[in-house]
Every structure is written in C-alpha cells, then in structure tokens.
Amino acid sequence: MGKLRLLLPVIIVFFLAIIVREAFPEWMKKMGISTQVLAVGNIILMVLTLVTIAFQKRALENKNPNVFVRSIMSSMLIKMLVIAGGVIIYSKASGGSFSKGGVFAVLVLYLLYLAAEVYTVMKMNSRKNA
C-alpha cells in the first residue's frame, strides 16, 4: 500500500488526462487537439515517469550523491529523446493531418508528470540527513 500511495500523484495525473480527454472531445477537436495523440502521449509519459522514478529510487539508496545526480540527468535525457523521437515519428507518419495542438497538449502533460515526479522523489528523499 505504501508504494501505491507514493505513486498516487502520477496515477492522478494519468487518470485526470483520461477524464479530460473523454469528457471534452468536442472542445478538444475545436482547439485542434487530437484525442488519439493525447491518449498515446499520456501512456508514453506515464511509462517514462514510472521508469525514471524507479531509476531515482535506486539512486537514492546509493551512498554516493553523484549517483542521484547522474540518475536525474540520464532520466531527463531519456525523456527528451523519447519525446523528440515520438514527435518526429508522428510528424512523418501523420502526413497532412499533423495535430500541433495535440503535441502541445502532450507537452503540457509532460509538465504535469514532471511536477508529480518531483513531488514523488521529494517524498522518497525525506531522510533526515538528505
């Protein structure tokens, strides 16, 4: 139960994005946001966030503080490369139906996942000598 509670902010962001996508499809279409792009982006960001939290949890257990810094840097690099690669693949595959609004919505989701990840890692790092 403790691990699930620790990941609660990430889970909330995931389901909040699903609820918004399902509750306001007409508004999203009017704003030029593809709900399919948002759904795929939400899943990718959820998986990336869980992977990076696992990296950072393992790094926090190490005595060397440099390991945690390297973990943060590598997780940022992995996220950037996956997101940039996803946008490039989507732009090539979509042809003329590229949804700029969908890409921007996924970038906003990235910020929400980032805030949830930082909150989670700060909770994990609540040691007295940290």
Over the stretch 8-33, which tens digit does the pLDDT of each residue have?
A: 999 999 999 999 999 999 999 999 99
Answer whether residue 128 shows pLDDT above 50. no
Q: What is the mean pLDDT of residues 107-127?
A: 90
pLDDT in tens, 54-96: 999 899 888 888 998 999 999 999 999 999 999 999 999 988 8
Q: Which sequence spans correspond to the domains of the chain?
A: 2-124
Provide the greatest CA pair distance for the chain.
Answer: 55
52 neighbors 110 (Cβ within 8 angstroms): no
pTM of the model: 0.88
Crossing angle of helices 35-60 and 65-94, in 10° steps, is: 160
Question: CA 109, CA 97: separation in Å to the nearest integer?
Answer: 21
